Amino acid sequence: MKIGFLAMSGVRAHDPKLLELGLTLPGFVERSKQVAALPSLGLLYLAAVTPPGHELAYFEAPRAGNEPDELLDCDLVAISTFSAQIFEAYAIAERLRNAGVKVAIGGLHATVRPEEALAHADHVVVGEGENVWPAVVRAVERREPGRIWRASDFEPVDVANLPVPRYDLLGARPYNRFTVQTSRGCPWRCEFCASSVMLTERYRRRPVEHVVRDLRAILALRPDAFIEFADDNTFVDKSWGKELCRAIEPLGIKWFTETDVSVADDPELVDLLAVSGCRQLLIGLESPDASALGGLERRTNFKARRARDYEHAIDALQSHGVTVDGCFILGLDRHGPEIFDQVFEFARRTALYEVQITYLTPFPGTPLHARLEREKRLLAPDRWDLCTLFDVIYQPARMTPDELRAGFYGLTDRLYSRSAMRERRGAFFERRQAARATRA
Ligand code: B12
């Protein structure tokens, strides 16, 4: 069979005012350029576990309606997408099915809304795909009827046995970054999280030598590749984290990942991050006002417990030249209109190199979605296309939706203005320089 792997690519937002701001503010433009083009690692894994004897091709649909015509030559197309582009994915699936192509859909959205997805695709996969996909391919070969497949009915995915993703299928497309996973899952359970905790219960680390193997596979294809670890929380285990940094240092790569604030607890790890080429850590700070963090992480109240360490952690990392992308969620239940100034001030005071602000977003399948649904606070139920992080789709507790939006526009304007960026980055470089001088 000819099997196509179709990624829905690009970023999405619908709020016209934000789109307008996003196109003009330097900070916004810079970050969207960095992330806009990332390949779908999930599909590259599926390609790697496809039984032999099939012709495989990787495709991207930047917008529904302009998916590549070659998809119509496939016998089977695997589509991967998150909530924001699920309707676009369904429309493509329907066009392909009308042309006689079998379609399978999987990923975070299909995992939590499989019945919905089955109305648009032949096969729907719930959960991690690696052990299910070969069975789906065989079912299509045998012309078996479509159905929902659940990873929980198969052997659990052993992350110590993952193959090298088929990076070679990406061809010569101009990606800014390439993704590798070093771990899956996260030990924390934040109410809003719509990441791989929805696919996998446990936090699992990959063998460090496999991560190096995968990095070498990318470097063989793109010697100057910038690497993004597509993890939820890379440095939960500090001693494994040090092993990872030591192992990747000789590769001479530059890399980025997501982790929590505890990464800065271990000074040796911070040193190793810097020497191993870590350029930036994305950390979910969520709120500069610690009182808004209570109960957000539902296992051990991690976020609230660690809020007092934020400033020290940012300083420890940034003084070693590892920039921090501090992420804040606006519109948490305890946030009132004062939050916008608080975020601006915190970013200025700590000289955060990168700042990301998003709206609290009830993604389907999250405890947050269930709670807001119970509390009748969902403003656009089932409008998955608005699950972009940049559209207000719930009733905030201490503001009106319009107040939240107005505060967000104002903060966007201030945070990403040329002068504020220059001030924060100038302070970052000064502090890094001073720290270097002290260490020397
Ligand atoms: C890389 C990334 C991107 C890339 C995606 C590249 C691509 N084409 O896939 C880019 C930058 C384009 C992107 C864009 C967006 N992203 Co994004 N992104 C991520 C990130 C950092 C890593 C995802 C990843 O690679 N995971 C690793 C792979 C191996 O896992 P996976 O994709 O889930 O695949 C496995 C299974 O799901 C399954 N599977 C997946 N697809 C299929 C298909 C079939 C047929 C089968 C059988 C199985 C299967 O098998 C795979 C292997 O086990 C996560 C955050 C995180 N730390 O996870 C956010 C994340 C996924 N993104 C998110 C969001 C909100 C967005 C945007 C809406 C942002 C915006 N405003 O535009 C857009 C939407 C894009 C879309 N396609 O819908 C949310 C998604 C929440 C949700 N449930 O919808 C996340 C979780 C971050 C967050 N803040 O919560 N993103």
**For residue 403, what is the domain's CATH number?**
3.80.30.20
Please give the mean pLDDT across all residues of the chain.
Answer: 94
* Nearest ligand 1 atom to alpha carbon 36: 11
Final residue belonging to a domain, choices 89, 118, 153: 153
Distance between start and end Cα atoms, the chain = 61
* Nearest ligand 1 atom to alpha carbon 389: 71
Ligand 1: centre distance to CA 64 (Å): 17
**For residue 115, what is the domain's CATH number?**
3.40.50.280
User: Is 387 a member of any domain?
Assistant: no
pLDDT of residue 200: 82
Ligand 1 proximity of 83 Cβ (cutoff 6 Å): yes
149 and 251 share a domain?
A: no
Tally of structural domains, the chain: 2
Ligand 1 proximity of 107 Cβ (cutoff 6 Å): yes
Structural domain span for residue 61: 2-12+39-153
DSSP states of 353-407 as a string? Answer: SEEEEEE----TTSHHHHHHHHTT-BSSTT-GGG-SSSS--B--SSS-HHHHHHH
Which burial class, exposed, middle or buried, applies to 95 when counting CB atoms under 10 A from its CB (0-12, 13-18, 19+)? middle
Ligand 1: centre distance to CA 6 (Å): 13
* Nearest ligand 1 atom to alpha carbon 366: 83
User: Is 141 a member of any domain?
Assistant: yes
Q: How confident is the model at residue 63 (pLDDT cuts 50, 70, 90)?
A: confident
142 and 224 share a domain?
A: no
* Nearest ligand 1 atom to alpha carbon 109: 83
Summarize the confidence of residues 135-151 as an average pLDDT: 98
pLDDT of residue 9: 80
Ligand 1 proximity of 130 Cβ (cutoff 6 Å): yes
Percent of the chain with pLDDT over 90: 87
Ligand 1 proximity of 151 Cβ (cutoff 6 Å): no
Q: Name the residue with the closest Cα to ligand 1, atom 49.
A: 106
Q: How confident is the model at residue 25 (pLDDT cuts 50, 70, 90)?
A: low
pLDDT of residue 174: 81
pLDDT of residue 19: 76
* Residue 323 pLDDT greater than 90, yes or no: yes
Ligand 1 proximity of 183 Cβ (cutoff 6 Å): no
| Residues 345-395: tens digit of each pLDDT | 999 999 999 999 999 999 999 999 999 999 999 999 999 999 999 999 999
Summarize the confidence of residues 410-421 as an average pLDDT: 93
Ligand 1: centre distance to CA 91 (Å): 19
Element (H, E) at 310: helix 310-318
49 neighbors 5 (Cβ within 8 angstroms): no
68 and 183 share a domain?
A: no
Nearest to 409 by CA among 392, 393, 385: 392
305 and 208 share a domain?
A: yes
Summarize the confidence of residues 98-116 as an average pLDDT: 97
Ligand 1: centre distance to CA 258 (Å): 14
